[in-house]
Amino acid sequence: MEKQNNKNLLIDRIIKAAQESPEFRENLISNPKNIFEMQSQFKLPEDFEIVVHEDTPNKLNIVLPRTSEELSDIELSAVSGGVCWDNCVNNSCH
């Protein structure tokens, strides 16, 4: 549960940065995987995809959770200590 909370904190920080900086927002929309890797200081698997959807006055995005109980490769890595979701500096969590 803590890793999920840390992931959510990282995502919240990325969203906040996108709200504060039009340049960051543009970069996040055009290359979300690169932004996520830079912010988490973790190289994601080649086949891992991150998609950014923007709500507009005429569109609402709803994200459905997975139905599977199995962990993804990235979640397995996080559980085993391979991913730092929060306050990552020099590949160590604080």
pLDDT of 94 strictly over 50: no
Domain edges within the chain: 2-52+59-93
CA distance 65 to 69: 11
DSSP letters, the chain, are: -HHHHHHHHHHHHHHHHHHH-HHHHHHHHH-HHHHHHHHHT-PPPTT--------BTTB---PPPPS--SPPHHHHHHHTT----SSEETTEE-
Strand partners, 92: 89
- 2-30: pLDDT as tens digits: 666 788 899 999 999 999 999 999 999 99
Q: What is the pLDDT of residues 40-71, one digit of tens each?
A: 988 999 999 999 999 899 999 998 887 766 66
pTM of the model: 0.65
